[in-house]
């Protein structure tokens, strides 16, 4: 037994989406045996653009039942049946969320007529309900009204049931282990199956081949699948639009992060938001107080005189200062890791020689601060960071020039690299941005023992 469902909503995303109309046809594989159709009072305003699309306005639903008043009828008609809809995840998840808000559980097996159509009747330019019905000669009246769309979907479903190999495809889609109902309706399963389980970047594309999202992953296939299970409004909208997925291998997470940042800046995808925002910059700087003691401190870049190095979070500044304190036996108080204290008592730094307690003279302490400053400035040199390649025969590297990210590259392990001129041949030069600088700095802070090869070192 099947129940073919269509809903109209207020259009406020999955979690904020409220049903304004629902239509359910109960179908036994041969004929319609029951029907439930009703307007629904969403108990909130219906946006003007939704009214323009569906014709349903606030006045029409004013005296309609609320979802809690018809919940029992929806449960009864869909009980012991397979939930069917065109782009099923949308209708199913909205209803499931509405019921969840009522403290009710709604769990049904489901089938998507978009995915079934792509598999059983391939070759059409569009699988939207309107265009598919036109191509197949299926009558569709009252478009964007629940009953009209549900009735057309029922006729479409009837034809799909009688298509060659339908029984095999239906069983496959209903298999408990099958991910067919999870995959976006416009995405072929074969595309998903070809995704590798290694580090890299992936590209979600719409039906026109336009990149709508770029992501990075340590395991591309696993990360892509997580998007399909995510019920956030943005994720659902993105997956509904996804018709193809491409990918590029990176070998390591660091290279994947840098590749992702570059691709976002290049394509400016619709659903990437994180790297479109302005990034606050912070800086570490030094100064001498009235007692002649040198301080290391951090602040927002605009408020930092003569910055020694720039970071993109206050946390990264503190991490660097903690590392400098430990390495050069500096005082947490005079590195501004502890404020408003007479003497330092940092929970993880016990290397202070006593400048804050009068047990170390200013000259000795200031010399150590000068060494720390030189160490910071020494970071602004040329070096490469070695990373895993995309294959066991390959080595990846990140190139830093004058302390700034210059790009990445891949070298076969059999290659003999004697100089930076040799290595430059394999370098894929990229633009240094706030985001790539932040990625590299954050990575080096998290991996302080990571080996860096400088100009005077043997190369790779």
For domain 189-276, the CATH superfamily is GIY-YIG endonuclease (3.40.1440.10)
Contact between residue 21 and residue 66 where contact means Cβ atoms under 8 Å apart: no
Q: What is the pLDDT of residue 210?
A: 95
Q: Which residues of the chain have pLDDT under 70?
A: 12-15, 176-181, 274-279, 379-380, 418-419, 449-460
Q: Which of 151, 17, 132 is nearest to 84 (CA)?
A: 151
pLDDT given for residue 397 in this prediction: 92
Rounded Cα distance between 223 and 247, Å, is 12
The distance of Cα 194 from the centroid of its chain, to the nearest Å, equals 20
Q: Which CATH superfamily is domain 2-174 in?
A: Ribonuclease H-like superfamily/Ribonuclease H (3.30.420.10)
With helix as H, strand as E and coil as C, how does the chain read? CEEEEEEEECCCHHHHCCEEEEEEEEECCCCEEEEEEEECECCCCCCHHHHHHHCCCHHHHCCCCEHHHHHHHHHHHHCCCEEEECCHHHHHHHHHHHHHHCCCCCCCCEEEHHHHHHHHCCCCCCCCHHHHHHHHCCCCCCCCCHHHHHHHHHHHHHHHHCCCCHHHHHHHHHCCCCCCCCCCCCCCHHHHHCCCCCCEEEEEECCCCCEEEEEEECCHHHHHHHHHHCCCHHHHHHHHHCCEEEEEECCCHHHHHHHHHHHHHHHCCCCCCHHHCCCCCEEEEEEECCCCCEEEEEEEHHHCCCCCEEECCHHHHHHHHHHHHHHHCCCCCCCCCCCCCCCCCCCCCCCCCCHHHCCCCHHHHHHHHHHHHHHHHHCCCCEEEEEECCCCCEEEEEEEECCEEEEEEEEECCCCCCCHHHHHCCEEECCCCHHHHHHHHHHHHHCCCCCEEECCCCCC
- Among 307, 296, 284, 308, smallest CA distance to 333 is for 296
Q: Strands 19-27, 110-112: parallel, antiparallel or unpaired by DSSP? A: unpaired
Distance CA 369, CA 384 (A): 27
Which residues of the chain are in CATH 3.30.420.10 domains? 2-174
Residue 440 confidence (pLDDT): 86
Tens of pLDDT, residue by residue over 54-102, are 999 999 999 999 999 999 999 999 999 999 999 898 899 899 999 999 9
What is the phi-psi region of residue 137: left when phi exceeds 0, alpha when psi lies from -120 to 50, beta otherwise?
left
pLDDT of residue 145: 93
Where are the CATH 3.40.1440.10 domain residues in the chain? 189-276
What pLDDT score was predicted for residue 455?
45
Question: Cβ(70)–Cβ(39) under 8 Å?
Answer: no
């Amino acid at each position: 037994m099947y129940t073919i469902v269509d809903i109209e909503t207020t259009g406020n995303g999955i979690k904020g989406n409220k049903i304004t109309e629902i239509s359910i046809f109960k179908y036994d594989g041969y004929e319609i045996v029951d029907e439930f159709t009703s307007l629904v009072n969403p108990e909130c305003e219906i946006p003007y653009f939704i009214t323009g699309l569906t014709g349903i306005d606030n006045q029409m639903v004013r005296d309609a039942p609320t979802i809690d008043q018809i919940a029992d009828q929806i449960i009864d008609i869909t009980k012991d049946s397979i939930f069917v809809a065109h782009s099923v995840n949308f209708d199913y998840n909205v209803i499931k969320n509405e019921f969840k808000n009522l403290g009710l559980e709604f769990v049904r097996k489901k089938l998507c007529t978009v995915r079934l159509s792509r598999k059983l009747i391939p070759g059409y330019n569009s699988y939207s309900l309107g265009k598919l019905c036109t191509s197949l000669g299926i009558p569709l009246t009252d478009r964007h009204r629940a009953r009209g769309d549900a009735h057309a979907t029922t006729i479409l479903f009837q034809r799909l049931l009688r298509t060659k190999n339908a029984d095999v495809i239906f069983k496959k889609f209903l298999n408990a282990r099958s991910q067919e109902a999870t995959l976006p309706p416009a995405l072929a399963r074969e595309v998903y199956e070809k995704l590798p389980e290694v580090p890299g970047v992936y590209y979600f594309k719409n039906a026109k081949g336009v990149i709508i999202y770029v992501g990075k992953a340590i395991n591309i296939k696993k990360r892509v699948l997580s998007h399909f299970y995510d019920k956030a409004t943005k994720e659902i909208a993105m997956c509904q639009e996804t018709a193809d997925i491409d990918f590029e291998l990176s070998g390591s997470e660091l290279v994947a992060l840098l590749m992702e940042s570059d691709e976002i800046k290049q394509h400016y995808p619709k659903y990437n938001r994180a790297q479109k925002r302005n990034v606050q910059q912070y800086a570490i700087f030094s100064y001498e107080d009235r007692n002649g003691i040198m301080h290391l401190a951090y602040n927002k870049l605009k408020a930092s005189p003569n910055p020694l190095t720039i970071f993109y979070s206050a946390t990264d500044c503190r991490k660097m200062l903690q590392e400098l304190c430990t390495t050069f036996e500096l005082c947490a108080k005079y590195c501004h890791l502890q404020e408003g204290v007479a003497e330092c008592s940092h929970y993880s730094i016990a290397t202070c020689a006593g400048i804050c307690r009068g047990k170390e003279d200013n000259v000795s302490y200031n010399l150590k601060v000068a060494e720390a400053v030189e160490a910071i400035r020494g970071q602004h040199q040329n070096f490469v960071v070695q990373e895993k390649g995309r294959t066991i025969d390959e080595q990846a590297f990140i190139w830093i020039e004058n302390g700034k990210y210059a790009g990445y590259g891949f070298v076969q392990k059999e290659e003999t690299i004697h100089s930076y001129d040799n290595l430059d041949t394999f370098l894929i030069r990229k633009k240094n941005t706030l985001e790539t600088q932040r990625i590299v700095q954050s990575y080096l802070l998290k991996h302080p023992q990571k080996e860096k090869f400088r100009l005077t070192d043997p190369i790779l």
